[in-house]
Each structure stands twice: as C-alpha cells, then as structure tokens.
A and B are shown apart, each in its own frame.
Chain A
Amino acid sequence: MSKQIMSGNEAVARGCYEAGVHFAAAYPGTPSTEILENIGGLYKEEIYSEWAPNEKVAAEAALGASIGGMRAICTFKHVGMNVAADPIFTAGYCGVNAGLVYVTADDPACHSSQNEQDNRLYAPHAKLAMVEPSDSQECKDFIKKAYEISEQFDIPVLFRMTTRVCHSKSVVELGERSEVPVKKYERRPEKYSMLPVNARKRHVIREALLQDLEEYAYTSELNRVEKVEGTDTGVITSGISYQYVKDVFGDSVSVLKMGLTHPLSRRLLQEFASGYKHLIVVEEGEPYLENALKILGFTNVTGKDKLTIQGEFNTRVVRDSLLGKQEVFSYQVEGVQAPPRPPVLCAGCPHRGFYYALSRQSDKFVSSGDIGCYALAVNPPLNGFDTCICMGAGFSSLVGLSRALKAQGDTRKAIGELGDSTFFHSGLTSLIDIVASQTNAVAVILDNSITAMTGHQENPGTVRNLMGYESPAISIEALVRALGIDDDHLRIFDPIDQEAAKEALEAAYQAEGPFVIITKRPCALIKEVARANAGKHVQIDPDKCVGCKQCMKVACPSLAFDSEAKKAYVADTANCNQCGLCLQQCKFGAIGKAGE
C-alpha cells in the first residue's frame, strides 16, 4: 500500500476508516479537531460523523452507537473530557457492544488551552483501557488495535494523544478498510441500565475484566522492550517522550516503551525494572508511570525529581535534565530585538466592534469572557473582560458575580460574552440559570455564524453540517425568546454598528433583571464572506488626517500610525475588508472606502 505523510490526527481518522468504524462525534477543540474534520471530509460514505453541541453529548452519542452495534469514536481536547466525564465514568461499567474509543488530545505547554491537565489519570479513575501512540504510524495502527481490545474486553478505550503527536506529521503506510458489520442490538438492561442494583454487579465484572486485560497487556505488542546488552540503565516511557528518549540515548540504554498504559502490566514493569541498576521514567505531565513503579517497590527510580511536571519536553529538556545542562550555542545580535507578535482579532472581525463599544462604557460593567476567538479581546487596548475560565462560565459566573458585586455596593453591572458555538455548547443552560434566578446581568451572544477559533467548524446554528449536508440552523433568537426574554430586555444588532451597540449597552445597564444582547455578523474569514469583500478596503486621506489616533484605538491590524508624519495609514489593504469600524471613529472624514 502507499505511504503518505500524515499528522497524528489524520492518521487516527485513517485508522478509524480502516478499522470499520461507522460512527464519529466530537466537539471541536485544539489539538483534536482535525480527526473529525478528516473523517467528515474523506470518509463520509463509510462513517456518519457530526459536530455535537458539546463533548458530553458527543460521548453519549458515541456510546449509543456502540450499544446499538456500531464501532464508534468520540474525540475531545483534554478539557473537553471534563465535560464528557459523566457518561464516560458510567460507560466504564457498561462496557460496549461494538468497539468504542474515546480520544483525548492533551496540550502540555498550553499551546491552545487553559490548563495542562494530564488525562492519563482519567483511565484508572474511570476504569477505561488506555492506549498511547508515539507517532502517526502508531496512531493508525493503535486505533485498530484499540477496537480489538474494546470488543475483546468489553471496555471503552481511552486513546491518549498530546499536541506533538496530534500535529506532528510522519510517514504512514496505508491499509484497506475492513468492513465490520453492525452488530445486532439486543436489550440488556442488566448491562446498560446502571441503576444501583445493576451498577454494583457491573463494577465487579469490570474489575475482573481489568485483571484479564492486565494479563493481556503482559504480552501485548503495544508494549515493547528494546533491550540493549551491557547497560545498567533501563528507561520506561510512553507517547511522544519515547522520541526524545531515542534522540538522547540512542541505543545506549534499554527502553520499555509502553503503548497499553491502562491497565499497566505490573508483571512486565516488574520484570523489566528488575534487570537494571538505574531506572529512568520519562513522561510529560504527572508521574503516572513513575508512581506505578514506586508502588511496586522500586526505589532506584529517576523521574519527576529531575524532569519537570510543567510544560512539554523536547530532546534538549530531556538531555539537560538527565545528563546535566549543556551550554547552548547562540548567535548574539546586538542592538535589535524582535517586537512581540501576539495573536490578535483579525481585520474585519465582528468581535472587535462589540468589545470596542464595551470599552467605551467600561466604567459601567464588570465583564466576564469565555473560550473562543473573542478571548483575544482581553489584551490592551480593548481590555475586554476580567475572567476566562471554561466553556459557558462567561454566563454562569454572572449569577454569583452580580450578587457579590451588589453585596459590596459596587454599582457596576455584570456582563458576560460568549460565541454562537459556545452558546450551544453550554451557554444555553447557563442562560437558563440567569433567567431562572432572575439575575441582574447582561448575557451577550457574539454570533459570527461559525466555530471560528478552532478553524471554522459547523455548529447547530449553521446551515451546513460536518459532512457538508444541509442542517436546520437552530435560531439563537428563538431559543432566547423561549426563555421569556422580551423585547425590552433583548437587543439584536450588527456589532460594527457603534450607534446600535452604544444604545444596547446603555439599555442593558438601565434594565432590571436578565438582559440579552445578540450580535450578528459573520466571521470575516468565512469563505463566502471573504469572497464578497475581496478587494474592498479603506483608505486614509493624509491631508485630512490630523493624527489624533482615534482610529488606532479599535486595534485593527490593518491600520498603522506613521509616527514621523504623525498620520494614520492603511498598512494592509489585502486583509482590510472595509467593515467600517475605523471609519465611524474619524471625526475629520479622513477615512474613506476604496477598492469596490
């Protein structure tokens, strides 16, 4: 078969195809997103796939498919697994009918996340099997193996990846799809209805099956010993860390590379570890393998005493930590420094319009943000919000925050913002609490008609779905009105329109009780939007520009200020889409439209 260079995510998608998977569900989340994107794009004839509103829904949908008889996959980023934890813990008791794999994509170093949690710890906690690949070929091969394990041991498999496994590309040899027929569904309430009487029995069965699986792990090809004669050092590792171990030590030490990491074969660990004077455990994040070794009574173990628990490894981190710090050669360039280049809201981004309007009335509000592109508005000069915790918290936190502000005599009003996809994810239930508790706060839904930050995925509000088919486009406004929000407590407008935004924020501040704002303007990067605006941009007449810098306050990356000439100018006409936000700032009529 042919060889291709694939990211780990592409290889997982390919592995699902080859393994005869029929059902896939996920909520987008970096670094996991491309798994479902690839399944939806490349294999939609064979695999039904969908973006679920959130990870819990996705995990339950996949569990339903498995119970019904289809091999199923559900993917999430590490924090997404927290959302899905409820069904997953009980799925551990139920087991499966057809194979079921949950993919967790962890993000050591927080490349695109709010924390560095190590989801390997979920596997023993939720009583799942766990498989960890080290490169793209293993992503594909191990996924296929994971379905065998899932069905043989009646257990959901946690497939644990990290950013560098997900987003690194390496060579993969492709195989054919094996058609796995959909298994017959049978009613089995003793297995799938987890009332206490059944759950107690399933727990016993689960523990027994985990013991069987541990026996299997002893000989599983997913674990591999690379034995070197004449060394007194044995290294135990898994996942991406294996690659750094090979770079640092080459063939000078023996390596136990673990691919099936729950349940850990204690016999295998014991046998390997007994053969060496020095044991080194190389693993990012928590001391998961190290603790297992220590529980077995080994004390000659180097691990987290030298290798950091924070951030991610690379070859140098592993080498410096274990073999002593080496001086790194570096060219020194005197007198110049690269200015910082933080990510910013794009030119023409609708969120800029809302947050700019909010910044003009910042004395009236305490603002709480959420997860999405709009999180970038926290930076100066917009200073858009004070908190950003997790999906939905932008709304739910207002219920407590507004009461705490009132209790200390703070007259500012609590306001929270989240996007359309986040609203469907968990903002809706949060808004229900705001209404049910009659919280005096403002809930803002920044509807840009797409899940933008993760790279433009469809959501329940879009007219198409993951597989490219038409979908009903659920109305956010109808949902909000169904909660009892009336015209006096609702404003819907284009966030670039600063008059409308100003009026809405003033009305929101004056109003009593729950107030909802829906801003509607599609993301500037949506293909159709970009095409419609192609060539359009603004221009600044240098004769009219007085250098007041008012237009610079909107923080648009297309605008620049020439500090010698003391004039603003359009630095990037290609990305300006003539949204008109800067135009509304200029009192001198210096900014005009061009290129139409």
Chain B
Amino acid sequence: MTKSIILVGVGGQGTITTSSILARGLIAGGKDVKMSEIHGMSQRGGTVVTQVKYGEKVYSPIIGEGEADLIVSFEKVEALRALPYLKEGGTVVTDIREIFPMPVLTGAAAYPGDAIEQMQKSVPNVIVVRAAELAQQLGNVKAQNIVLLGALVKQLGLMEIDWRSIIRDSFPEKLVDLNLKAFEAGTSME
C-alpha cells in the first residue's frame, strides 16, 4: 500500500530539505519512493509544497485532493490551506508557528489565529507541535524542520530506519549535533 505525505510551509522553512532527508531514509528502509516539489517563482515567500509517496511500487509522484495520509505543516494556516489533500481518517501534524503573508501584513486580509482550533472541530486527527519553539530552545529556529521530521517518522511508525546516520550524512559537521537533538525532540513529543 502506498503512503502519501504532504509537507507544507513557507519559502525558507526547510520543507524541501526535510522531504529529501525523509526520502533518503525511506530508500534506506527498502521502499520505492517518489518525491515532488515545485520551485521557481513560488519560492519567494510563497507557499512551498513538497510531496512524498512511498510503498512497494510508486507510479505518480503527485498526490491529489483527498489522497494524503499525512499532512505535515510548518506553519499554522498552511495546514488549513493543504487540508483538501487530506484523505478521510488522515492525520495533520502542524506547528503553531505563524508567518504572516503580505496581504495580512498590509491589512488586506485577516490571519485566522484560531485556525488549528477550528480545524480540530471537524478533523479528528490533528496533532499540534511546537517545533519552531523547541528548535529555538535548542539554539536555532532553523532546526524546526528536523523536529518536525522526528514527529513525522514517529507518526508513520518508521522508527526502525536509521535516521541518525541519514541526518549525519545530510548536514555539515557543525550542524549535525543540533539536528540530532532536534530529531530527538521531535520523536519524544507526545
């Protein structure tokens, strides 16, 4: 059975890096993997979406609406935006971090601060994490993505893969320790 995961965030949050590490780990775990990303114009402060599918044999690299087993959101309202992709009974893991888009900054649109609470009313499986906050406590908010990676692999029951060595191979020496701690933090969240 193919599993479909959507990672969403804002340009610069590290969603693409996370997806790449996830994909490398899944291959090490013997899965067929496809990953899809869109970059170019959409990167400049816009929404960034990456998609990862894995299983015995994966054909299409794209996940359609109502097809995702898991949505991992690096930003509060991006979870809401990606919700149409969630399948019935699927899970949302979302950071509570807020990043205001330009229309909100200029006052042309409102930012729904209660997006998660509203989502929880109709979506049964919404897991809220404070990944950015945890990463900040570990010394660098940029490690938010690896905290979320930890939360994600725990959620998917993929702990048997040797993520630590994948992370070691994915970062320069001086960032390895931070990211290992971030991963640890992600997997040990309730």
Shortest A556–chain B CB gap in Å is: 8
Q: Is B139 an interface residue (CB 8 A)?
A: no
Would B101 and A339 count as touching, CB distance under 8 A? yes
Query: Which partner residue on chain A sits nearest B102 by CB separation?
Result: A344
Would B87 and A329 count as touching, CB distance under 8 A? yes
B67-83 with Cβ < 8 A to chain A:
67, 77-78, 80-81, 83
Shortest A428–chain B CB gap in Å is: 25
A287-338 with Cβ < 8 A to chain B:
314-317, 328-338
Main secondary structure of the interface of B (DSSP, over half): mixed
Most buried by A among B58, B84, B106, B109: B106
Q: How far is the CA of A203 from the CA of B36 in the complex (A)?
A: 42
A-side contacts of B123, CB under 8 Å:
331, 333
B14-55 with Cβ < 8 A to chain A:
20, 23-24, 27, 32-47
B-side contacts of A111, CB under 8 Å:
38, 40-42
Q: How far is the CA of A346 from the CA of B121 in the complex (A)?
A: 36
Number of chain B residues whose Cβ lies closer than 8 Å to a Cβ of chain A: 62
Q: Is A244 an interface residue (CB 8 A)?
A: yes
Q: When A and B form their complex, which 6 residue pairs have the shortest distance between CB atoms, in order from nearest?
A: A112-B40, A30-B40, A343-B46, A168-B61, A316-B64, A341-B101
Query: Which partner residue on chain A sits nearest B12 by CB separation?
Result: A575
Q: Is A3 an interface residue (CB 8 A)?
A: yes
Partner of B84, one of A314, A330, A340, A346: A330
A-B contacts, 15 of them at CB < 8 A, read: A111-B41, A168-B35, A169-B36, A242-B59, A243-B61, A247-B60, A333-B119, A336-B115, A337-B80, A339-B110, A343-B44, A344-B46, A373-B44, A453-B41, A563-B107
- Per-position 1/0 for A153-178, Cβ under 8 A of B: 00000000001100111110000000
Would A331 and B44 count as touching, CB distance under 8 A? no
Q: Is B118 an interface residue (CB 8 A)?
A: yes
Given contacts A333-B80, A373-B44, contact A243 B122 (CB under 8 A): no
Given contacts A243-B59, A316-B64, A343-B43, contact A336 B34 (CB under 8 A): no
Would A243 and B60 count as touching, CB distance under 8 A? yes
Q: How far is the CA of A490 from the CA of B77 in the complex (A)?
A: 47
Most buried by B among A163, A338, A559: A338
B81-135 with Cβ < 8 A to chain A:
81, 83-84, 86-88, 99-107, 109-112, 114-115, 118-119, 121-123
Partner of A112, one of B41, B62, B64, B118: B41
Given contacts A168-B34, A331-B83, contact A343 B42 (CB under 8 A): yes
B-side contacts of A340, CB under 8 Å:
101, 103, 109
Would A170 and B34 count as touching, CB distance under 8 A? yes
Q: Is A529 an interface residue (CB 8 A)?
A: no
Would B46 and A341 count as touching, CB distance under 8 A? yes
Known: A135-B34, A315-B59. 6 other contacts (CB 8 A): A5-B33, A30-B39, A112-B39, A246-B59, A338-B80, A376-B41
Would B41 and A343 count as touching, CB distance under 8 A? yes
Q: How far is the CA of A243 from the CA of B36 in the complex (A)?
A: 13
Q: How far is the CA of A170 from the CA of B57 in the complex (A)?
A: 11
Would B121 and A334 count as touching, CB distance under 8 A? yes
Query: Which partner residue on chain B sits nearest A77 by CB separation?
Result: B40
Given contacts A341-B10, A343-B41, contact A336 B80 (CB under 8 A): yes
Q: Is A383 an interface residue (CB 8 A)?
A: no
Q: Is A342 an interface residue (CB 8 A)?
A: yes
Query: Which partner residue on chain B sits nearest A168 by CB separation?
Result: B61
Query: Which partner residue on chain A sits nearest B77 by CB separation?
Result: A338
List residues of chain B with CB under 8 Å of any chain A CB.
10-12, 20, 23-24, 27, 32-47, 58-62, 64-67, 77-78, 80-81, 83-84, 86-88, 99-107, 109-112, 114-115, 118-119, 121-123, 141
Q: Is A580 an interface residue (CB 8 A)?
A: no
A-side contacts of B61, CB under 8 Å:
164, 168-170, 240, 243
Q: How far is the CA of A112 from the CA of B115 in the complex (A)?
A: 30
Q: How many Cβ-Cβ contacts under 8 Å join chain A to chain B?
A: 186
B-side contacts of A561, CB under 8 Å:
105-107
Main secondary structure of the interface of A (DSSP, over half): loop
Partner of B115, one of A242, A244, A338: A338
Query: Which partner residue on chain B sits nearest A315 by CB separation?
Result: B60
List residues of chain A with CB under 8 Å of any chain B CB.
3, 5, 30-31, 111-112, 135, 163-164, 167-171, 240, 242-244, 246-247, 314-317, 328-346, 373, 375-376, 381, 453-455, 552, 555, 557, 559-561, 563, 571-572, 574-575
A-side contacts of B115, CB under 8 Å:
336, 338
Would B36 and A167 count as touching, CB distance under 8 A? yes
Would B39 and A339 count as touching, CB distance under 8 A? no
Given contacts A5-B23, A111-B41, A342-B46, contact A336 B118 (CB under 8 A): yes
Would B100 and A560 count as touching, CB distance under 8 A? yes
Q: How far is the CA of A342 from the CA of B24 in the complex (A)?
A: 31
Q: How far is the CA of A586 from the CA of B29 in the complex (A)?
A: 57
A-side contacts of B84, CB under 8 Å:
328, 330
Query: Which partner residue on chain A sits nearest B118 by CB separation?
Result: A336
Would A332 and B122 count as touching, CB distance under 8 A? yes
Would B37 and A339 count as touching, CB distance under 8 A? no
A-side contacts of B119, CB under 8 Å:
331, 333, 336
Q: How far is the CA of A282 from the CA of B42 in the complex (A)?
A: 28
Would B40 and A31 count as touching, CB distance under 8 A? yes
Q: How far is the CA of A111 from the CA of B109 in the complex (A)?
A: 24
Given contacts A167-B39, A169-B34, A333-B118, contact A344 B45 (CB under 8 A): yes
